[in-house]
Amino acid sequence: MTGQNLFEIVKQHICSCSLDLQMDPNVEAILKMPMRELHVSIPVRMDDGTIRAFQGFRVQYNDALGPTKGGIRYHPGETIDTIRGLAALMTWKCALHELPLGGAKGGIVCNPKELSFSELERLSRSYIQMIYYIIGPDRDIPAPDVYTTPEIMAWMMDEYSKIAGKTSFGVITGKPVGLGGSEGRVDATARGGWFIIREAARDANLELAGATVAIQGFGKVGSFAALLGRDIFGARIIAVSDSTGGVCDPQGLDIGALILHKRKTGSVKGFPGAKEISNQEILELGVDILVPAALENVITDENAGRVKAAIVAEFANGPLTAEADEILHKRGILVLPDLLANGGGVIVSYFEMVQNSQMDHWDEEKIYRRLEKKMSDAYRSVRDLANRNNVPLRKAAYTIALERVVRAMRLRGWM
């Protein structure tokens, strides 16, 4: 079934694991609903003097393990069910990587590409004014996500601080390094994902040096995935795409030149020496590793049978529908699930929270060393459970995460 919303997919995974965990139906029901969600209308004065109201959300899914944590996205197609699904994923992701945090997510229905710099700032500050009373360093800590940046996080932190009457670096992560941000945060999701790919490649006897890679999505995560994959892990990035289309070169793309080309033209299309391909075609290339690094539901039951990669690494949240996941598993294609593969962002965000609370600043080497250990430990736990029970990595990841959240709920006396 194509077009399935992310929240329904997440609930299916919960149902699947609840039987194996012998979970009480009442507990399962709690886990399938967010504990709190806020819908807001955000009035913003536009540059032409008119007032426009934007729809915004903040969903706090479960805080059994600690304060909720999750990004804020700006996207014209944003929906509350997507935000609910992403908040749930963040809950399980934090649990899987053993962070003392729950899951949350926020979003505004808007197209940031159509907003001026000043309109974007007014929108960002107004959003914080509307959600101020449910966030805070010990309650809910937002971060960047799709189409939001460190600069936007700085505005949000500043607005919260103005309302609170004191500087509060800890309310937001993903900030610029000069404003309490962490080294290594900007490429954390991609770097952490490559640590997972490296572990899986070793188990699959796949040599990363020279391995062919296609990356669907050439935004913040995808561009760093391409750079790190080539420069640190030795992979050959033969294709990338963005919202306008894609480019392919079997000999390997010059990633640095491609980033400059996109910065100049706004698109990867038209890159000299590369063949243009569609976003659909990039998902079906015969590569060793496919990295969906954009939005949800790009691989469905309609196209999963045409995926040819040996490994699919989910750097995006929810890029596979449940039906596609099952098809790829039956075909013997290894899927590295989002809970596991893209946890680097929230891990380094947690490191940023620790640094802010201690009024400290760690260097890149310390950040990367700790990130690598977190990612590697999580991979081994998931792999070992998957091997013992003969289940896909996704089911093993969900099982570990759900067990940890339910245990925390019991210890708190919620059941």
290 with 313: CB under 8 angstroms? Answer: yes
C-alpha–C-alpha distance, residues 133 and 388, integer Å:
45
Give the mean pLDDT of 392-410: 94
- Please enumerate in sequence order all residues whose Cβ is within 8 A of that of 245, keeping only pairs 6 or more positions apart, or say none: 267, 268, 269, 276, 277, 278, 279
C-alpha–C-alpha distance, residues 220 and 201, integer Å:
24
Helix (H) or strand (E) holding 375: helix 364-389
Is the pLDDT at 1 greater than 70? The verdict is no
Site of tokens 């913040």: 220
- Among candidates 111, 40, 39, which has minimal Cα distance to 81? 39
C-alpha–C-alpha distance, residues 272 and 134, integer Å:
49
CA-angle at 157, arms to 154 and 160, nearest 5°: 150
Beta strands in 249-340 (DSSP E): 275-277, 289-292, 311-313, 334-336
Question: Residue 415 has what pLDDT?
Answer: 81
Bridge partners of residue 41, in order along the sequence: 55
Q: What percent of the chain has pLDDT over 90?
A: 89
Residue 4: pLDDT band with limits 50, 70, 90: low
Site of tokens 């992701």: 93
Is the pLDDT at 22 greater than 80? The verdict is no
C-alpha–C-alpha distance, residues 33 and 56, integer Å:
19
3-state helix, strand, coil in the chain (%, to 5): 50, 20, 35
Site of tokens 């080294």: 183
CA-angle at 161, arms to 156 and 163, nearest 5°: 100
C-alpha–C-alpha distance, residues 283 and 214, integer Å:
8
Question: Residue 295 has what pLDDT?
Answer: 80
Residue 19: pLDDT band with limits 50, 70, 90: low
pLDDT tens-digit map of 163-203? 999 999 999 999 999 999 999 999 999 999 999 999 999 99
C-alpha–C-alpha distance, residues 141 and 323, integer Å:
33
What is 102-126 written as a DSSP string? EEEEEEEE--GGGS-HHHHHHHHHH
4 with 297: CB under 8 angstroms? Answer: yes
Alpha carbon separation from 22 to 14, 272, 402, 411 (Å, rounded): 12, 57, 12, 18
pLDDT tens-digit map of 103-144? 999 999 999 999 999 999 999 999 999 999 999 999 999 999
**Number of helices followed by number of strands (H, E) in the chain:** 14, 12
C-alpha–C-alpha distance, residues 72 and 173, integer Å:
11
337 with 399: CB under 8 angstroms? Answer: no
Give the mean pLDDT of 336-360: 96
Q: How far is CA 242 from the centre of its chain?
A: 17
Q: Which domains does the chain have, with CATH numbers?
A: 34-169 (3.40.50.10860), 188-341 (3.40.50.720)
Enumerate the active-site residues. Answer: 105
Return the DSSP state at 266.
S
pLDDT tens-digit map of 229-286? 999 999 999 999 998 999 999 999 999 999 999 999 999 999 999 999 999 999 999 9
